[in-house]
């Protein structure tokens, strides 16, 4: 068994390609996961799709062919040529895959280092895959350890403190643009998690907000929840408008942030009218909510355009990041040590049980043949067990040490064969699988 991660992120993939790769709904995810897991090389899989990344975390039998099958499935979903995907993809295998996942969930690989959303996003992705039957024991192990690692990083560093997210970065940029002006209203489109964060950050920065969503009841509930969460907030700070007012509002207001889950642009060039002030629109959705067009009076910022604030954020957190990476490295080693122990301890137990069985059989045989007296059998048994324990001591020690390595499963499998700890049918079945894999390579 191997761990494999197929990764497309803000580091290696431009926003246009990420839009094509992004999964718009649960049906798309489930269809994709079924296709990936139904191949002969992948046992389990999770797909994470956010504004900054599309990643497939998998437990596979064969890395090379599993990678090919995942890229083929992404090609069929996005219509992006496999050769193009192969040029930009980052592929992480085994220990590097574990280290990468721990880094991602601990928010060290995010556009905004320290943002806390990614842990929840991966947790949701893991739960979805598990509930659909595409993630089982192997990915549960790595996922639970990743959450533990993220918790350790948060507790040991200050990376998770303060306002760190794409939403907070957009609002910080807006405050930089408008300076100390406190009479600016911001139009926020959407009523999901990202919009919730955006509104809260705007209020903290003394902006007032106009909130609009296709689901006006959801927008009203969001506004009520936010206002009631802070005694210093008043009802006039958030104004909820019906979605039909979108065109009118975007042509009246200087500042806009949109973060919907629409699969297509909701703001097009045909909706734009002349405006006497310079407008600043932040599109933090993937796929993007704003059509790609040029207008001298509108500055449009997509997720990837916030890098100046992001780089400042990274420099301020560099020392904390070093500490976090040290924790991740330690946790990666601990994971393989723990994983190896799960496989080696039952093997050692069965070796000793087999030895006890042989000792018992040989003693009873010796008694029946009058080689030893029955009254001495317990002492002889203890002596035989002492000899066997001493004989197996180095084997046990070496297996436990080897189990800490990432490829320990091969050694454990060979040990089972050497000591005949699996029945013949199981071994033959595994040999067939190995032959089938070698024929495909």
Q: Residue 437 — very low, low, confident or very high, per pLDDT cuts 50/70/90? A: very low
On whether both 278 and 191 belong to a single domain, the answer is yes
pTM of the model: 0.69
Q: Does 195 lie in the same domain as 68?
A: no
pLDDT of residue 218: 95
Residues 97 and 212 occupy one common structural domain: no
Neighbours of 208 (CB within 10 A): 16
Give the domain range for residue 155.
Answer: 2-161
274 and 174 co-located in one domain: yes
CA nearest to 216, candidates 236, 237, 245, 194: 245
pLDDT in tens, 264-322: 899 999 999 988 889 999 999 888 999 988 898 999 999 888 876 666 666 666 777 88
Looking up residue 215, the CATH number of its domain turns out to be 3.40.50.720
Neighbour count for residue 161 (Cβ, 10 Å): 11
Residue 361 in any domain: the answer is no
**30 and 133 assigned to the same domain:** yes
pLDDT tens per residue, range 226-276: 999 999 999 999 999 999 999 999 999 999 999 998 888 999 999 999 888
Higher pLDDT, 340 or 316: 340
Single out the residue of 100, 152, 62, 32 nearest to residue 434, CA to CA. 62
The reported pLDDT for the residue numbered 69 is 94
What is the pLDDT at residue 401?
A: 76
Q: Flag whether 415 is in a domain.
A: no
Percent of the chain scored above 90 by pLDDT? 53
Q: Where in the sequence numbering do the catalytic residues fall?
A: 51
CATH number at residue 18: 3.30.460.30
Residue 400 lies in a domain: no
- Helix, strand or coil, per DSSP, at residue 213: strand
Instruction: Examine the fold and report which residue of 309, 341, 368 is the final residue of a domain before the chain moves on.
Output: 309
Looking at the 3D structure of the chain, how many domains does it have? 2
Whether the pLDDT of residue 438 is over 60: the answer is no
Cis link prior to 287 (omega < 30° from 0)? yes
Mean of pLDDT values over 154-160 = 78
Residue where the block lists tokens 């990376």: 159
Which of these three, 257, 278, 309, is where a domain ends? 309
Same domain, 8 and 156: yes
Residues 77 and 129 in one domain: yes
């Amino acid at each position: 068994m191997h761990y494999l991660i197929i990764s497309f992120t803000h580091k290696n993939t431009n926003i246009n390609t990420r839009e094509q790769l992004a999964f718009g709904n649960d049906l798309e995810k489930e269809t994709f996961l079924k296709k990936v897991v139904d191949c002969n090389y992948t046992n389990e899989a999770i797909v994470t799709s956010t504004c900054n990344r599309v990643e497939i975390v998998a437990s596979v039998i064969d890395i090379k062919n599993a990678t090919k099958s995942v890229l083929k499935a992404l090609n069929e979903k996005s219509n992006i040529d496999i050769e193009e995907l192969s040029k930009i993809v980052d592929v992480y295998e085994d220990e590097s895959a574990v280290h990468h996942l721990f880094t991602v969930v601990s928010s060290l690989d995010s556009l905004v280092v320290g943002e806390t959303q990614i842990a929840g996003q991966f947790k949701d992705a893991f739960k979805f895959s598990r509930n659909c039957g595409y993630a089982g024991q192997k990915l549960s192990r790595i996922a639970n350890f990743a959450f533990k690692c993220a918790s350790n990083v948060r507790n040991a560093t200050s990376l998770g403190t303060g306002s760190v997210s794409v939403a907070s970065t957009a609002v910080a940029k807006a405050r930089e643009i408008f300076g100390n002006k406190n009479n600016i209203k911001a139009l926020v489109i959407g009523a999901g998690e990202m919009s919730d964060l955006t509104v809260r950050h705007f209020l903290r920065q003394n902006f007032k907000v106009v909130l609009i969503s296709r689901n006006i009841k959801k927008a009203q509930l969001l506004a009520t929840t936010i206002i009631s969460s802070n005694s210093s907030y008043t009802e006039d700070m958030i104004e909820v408008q019906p979605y039909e007012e979108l065109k009118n509002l975007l042509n009246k207001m200087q500042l806009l942030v949109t973060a919907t889950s629409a699969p297509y642009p909701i703001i097009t060039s045909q909706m734009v009218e002349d405006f006497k002030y310079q407008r600043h629109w932040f599109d933090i959705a993937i796929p993007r909510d704003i059509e790609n067009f040029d207008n001298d009076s509108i500055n449009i910022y997509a997720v990837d355009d916030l890098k100046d604030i992001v780089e400042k954020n990274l420099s301020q957190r560099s020392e904390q990041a070093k500490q976090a990476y040290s924790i991740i490295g330690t946790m990666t080693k601990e994971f393989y040590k723990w994983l190896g122990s799960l496989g080696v301890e039952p093997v050692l137990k069965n070796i000793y049980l087999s030895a006890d069985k042989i000792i018992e059989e040989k003693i009873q045989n010796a008694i029946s043949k009058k080689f030893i007296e029955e009254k001495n059998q317990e002492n002889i048994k203890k002596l035989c067990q002492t000899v066997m324990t001493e004989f197996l001591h180095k084997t046990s020690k070496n297996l436990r040490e080897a189990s800490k390595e990432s490829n320990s499963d091969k050694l454990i499998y060979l040990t089972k064969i050497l000591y005949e700890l699996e029945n013949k049918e199981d071994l033959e079945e595994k040999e067939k699988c190995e032959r089938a894999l070698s024929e495909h390579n």
